[in-house]
Amino acid sequence: MAKYNYEWVKCPDFVTRDDQDNITEIKCKVCGTVIMGRIERHKERPDGTKYIIEQLGPYYNYTEIKIGMQDGSAHVTNGCDKCLRKDLPADRLIELMLADAEDQKNWSNWDIWRTATGVHVVKKGAGGIE
């Protein structure tokens, strides 16, 4: 349950976990659309034996943004391709970072009170932002 009173983020509890605490689904923090879920991957061993594994994977709408800070540091977060864009104002960027911090449940590792300068990178699809 979210502690912060969000104005823009509508889905602060964006990560769904199973009984073993494995992530089964991730939603966009803003609108709640599912952006990652369990996907079957077909594999083949060197001996030709075929098998299927299930793992967390991105959906077609998965997008990442890199939020730049005044001190030169950055924070990467994810959401859907409709909600995350380059022109987001600082107050909305702070809400995204707060939602991430709440999900991690370890505020001591977060310096979320830094001043956001804006979105530096928008990347659709998985693969990570450097």
CA distance 64 to 68: 13
Going by pLDDT thresholds of 50, 70 and 90, the confidence category of residue 116 is confident
Residues 88-117 have a mean pLDDT of 79
Average pLDDT over residues 75-92: 93
As a whole number of Å, the end-to-end CA separation of the chain is 31
Q: Which of 38, 39, 42, 40 is nearest to 51 (CA)?
A: 42
Structural domain contains residue 25: yes
Q: Is residue 129 part of a domain?
A: no
100, 75 contact by CB (below 8 A): yes
Position 116 in a domain: yes
Q: How many CB atoms lie within 10 A of CB 113?
A: 8
Which strand (E) or helix (H) includes residue 3?
A: none
The whole-angstrom separation of Cα 49 and Cα 111 is 48
Q: How far apart are CA 104 and CA 92, in angstroms?
A: 19
Percent of the chain surpassing pLDDT 70: 88
Domain of 82 in residue numbering reads as 15-124
Residue 39 reports pLDDT greater than 60:
yes
Q: What is the pLDDT of residue 107?
A: 60
Q: Is 45 within the bounds of a domain?
A: yes
The span from the CA of 119 to the CA of 128, in Å, is 15
The pLDDT assigned to 102 comes to: 86
31 in any annotated domain: yes
**Between 4 and 74, where is the model more confident?**
74
Is 5 within the bounds of a domain?
Answer: no
Q: Encode pLDDT of 15-27 as tens digits.
A: 999 999 999 999 9
The verdict on residue 7 lying in a domain is no
pTM: 0.82
- Domain assignment of residue 71, yes or no: yes
Half-sphere exposure of 53 (CA within 13 A, CB side): 6
Number of domains in the chain: 1
Q: Which residue has the higher pLDDT, 53 or 104?
A: 53
